[in-house]
């Protein structure tokens, strides 16, 4: 009985550890081969009996390196829209940012991949029907720099501004704002009088206005922009009076201007 128990324990340990196992990382994140080719291990062999038909990792940076836990997208998931108008929904993987599926619809020919946030909103997607049955092993092409036409990593924002977001269960579109034509005029009108010539957040004295906004830091050294959670961006928190701001509240959270800046950040805070 004791021998049987030890054998069972050994088998369970092998299945859990797989190719290198997993461990708790900083801030409670789970490290498990983020960015690597999942199928290299999860292929149904004796060493790793869990066979993954399709899998990958979602990052917050197109060029994130393997195991970069500072740039994995926590809580995001993937959905495939098949050319038959059916869908395949993925499960969150064993490591933070990872996703997987063990069974794929046998009839699928081409599909569109969609990245969803924790609220089920589509925040990024591939070109319509740009993928086929040969492209299920996501991390084999979605590497830093990209392979076989991939732009880089699968990311949690619309990197090429090609889509509109839709609200959960609704049809209201959220257009992708432009920094130059939508965001900068707001900052010029609301912030430039105090932040135009000095300070860590400077609109006019930087090489470009974008650099003064996207590269600016607070006195605590924190970035002004939080792409993963736009409302936690110090830029918005200060403007809305959520945190201490010498200029007081200049953008209410219900204003169109606040929403524009928030949407710009949510879409990757691009220099567009």
| Whole-number percent of the chain with pLDDT over 90 | 9
Average pLDDT over residues 79-89: 82
- Choose the final residue of a domain: 116, 137, 170: 170
Q: Is 55 a member of any domain?
A: yes
Give the pLDDT of residue 81. 84
Give the pLDDT of residue 57. 95
Q: Which residue has the higher pLDDT, 208 or 22?
A: 208
Domain extent at residue 262? 175-266
Residue 110's DSSP bridge partners are 132
Determine the 3-state secondary structure of 101 from DSSP.
strand
Average pLDDT, the chain: 74
Alpha-helical runs (H) found in the chain? 2-17, 184-190, 192-195, 209-214, 234-239, 256-266
Q: Which residue has the higher pLDDT, 238 or 93?
A: 238
CA distances, 79 to each of 13, 104, 231 (Å):
30, 12, 25
pLDDT at residue 96 tops 70: yes
Q: Is 155 a member of any domain?
A: yes
Query: For the chain, what is the domain count?
Result: 2
Q: Is 271 a member of any domain?
A: no
Q: Is 212 a member of any domain?
A: yes
Are both 238 and 159 inside the same structural domain? no
Are both 128 and 252 inside the same structural domain? no
pLDDT per position as a tens digit, 15-71: 334 455 555 444 447 899 999 988 888 877 655 556 678 889 999 888 889 999 988
Are both 131 and 20 inside the same structural domain? yes
Confidence bin at 199 (pLDDT 50/70/90) = low
Are both 131 and 253 inside the same structural domain? no
Are both 230 and 163 inside the same structural domain? no
CA distances, 150 to each of 17, 54, 92, 138, 189 (Å):
30, 16, 22, 10, 39
Are both 201 and 160 inside the same structural domain? no
Are both 137 and 80 inside the same structural domain? yes
Give the pLDDT of residue 207. 52
pLDDT per position as a tens digit, 222-264: 467 877 778 888 888 889 988 888 888 988 888 878 878 887 8
Are both 8 and 96 inside the same structural domain? yes
Are both 161 and 180 inside the same structural domain? no
- Choose the final residue of a domain: 136, 170, 204: 170
Give the pLDDT of residue 200. 54
- Spell out the residues 6+ positions from residue 138 whose beta carbon is closer than 8 angstroms to its own: 38, 54, 55, 56, 57, 113, 154
CB 102 within 8 A of CB 63: no
Question: How many other CB atoms are there within 10 angstroms of residue 222's CB atom?
Answer: 12
Determine the 3-state secondary structure of 110 from DSSP.
strand
- Choose the final residue of a domain: 143, 170, 197: 170
Give the pLDDT of residue 35. 94
Are both 89 and 151 inside the same structural domain? yes
pLDDT per position as a tens digit, 162-175: 554 443 443 334 45
Rounded distance between C-alpha atoms, residue 148 and residue 79, angstroms: 21
CB 150 within 8 A of CB 141: yes
Confidence bin at 206 (pLDDT 50/70/90) = low
Alpha-helical runs (H) found in 67-222? 184-190, 192-195, 209-214
Give the pLDDT of residue 8. 38
Rounded distance between C-alpha atoms, residue 177 and residue 267, angstroms: 8
Are both 54 and 97 inside the same structural domain? yes
Confidence bin at 122 (pLDDT 50/70/90) = confident
Looking at mean pLDDT, say which of 25-34, 182-191, 262-271 comes out highest: 182-191
């Amino acid at each position: 009985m004791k021998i049987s128990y030890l054998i069972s324990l050994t088998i369970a340990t092998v299945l859990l550890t797989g190719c290198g196992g997993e461990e708790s990382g900083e801030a409670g994140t789970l490290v498990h081969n983020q960015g690597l080719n999942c199928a290299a291990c999860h292929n149904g062999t004796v060493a790793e009996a869990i066979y993954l038909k399709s899998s990958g990792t979602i990052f917050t940076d197109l060029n994130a390196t393997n195991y970069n836990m500072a740039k994995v997208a926590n809580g995001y998931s993937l959905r495939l829209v098949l050319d038959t108008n059916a869908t395949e929904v993925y499960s969150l993987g064993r490591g933070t940012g990872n996703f997987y599926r063990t069974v794929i619809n046998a009839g699928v020919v081409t599909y569109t991949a969609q990245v969803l946030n924790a609220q089920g909103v589509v925040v990024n997607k591939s070109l319509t029907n740009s993928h086929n049955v040969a492209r299920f092993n996501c991390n084999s092409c979605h590497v830093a720099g990209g392979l076989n036409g991939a732009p880089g990593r699968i990311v949690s924002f619309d990197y090429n501004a090609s889509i509109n977001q839709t609200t959960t269960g609704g049809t209201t579109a959220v257009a992708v704002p432009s920094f130059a034509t939508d965001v900068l005029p707001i900052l010029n009108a609301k912030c430039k009088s105090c932040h135009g010539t000095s300070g860590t957040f400077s609109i006019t004295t930087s090489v470009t206005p974008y650099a003064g906004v996207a590269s600016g830091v607070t006195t605590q050294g924190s970035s002004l922009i939080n792409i993963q959670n736009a409302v936690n961006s110090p830029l918005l928190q200060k403007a809305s009076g959520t945190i201490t701001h010498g200029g007081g509240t200049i953008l209410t959270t219900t204003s169109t201007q606040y929403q524009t800046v928030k949407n710009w950040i949510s879409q990757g805070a691009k220099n567009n």
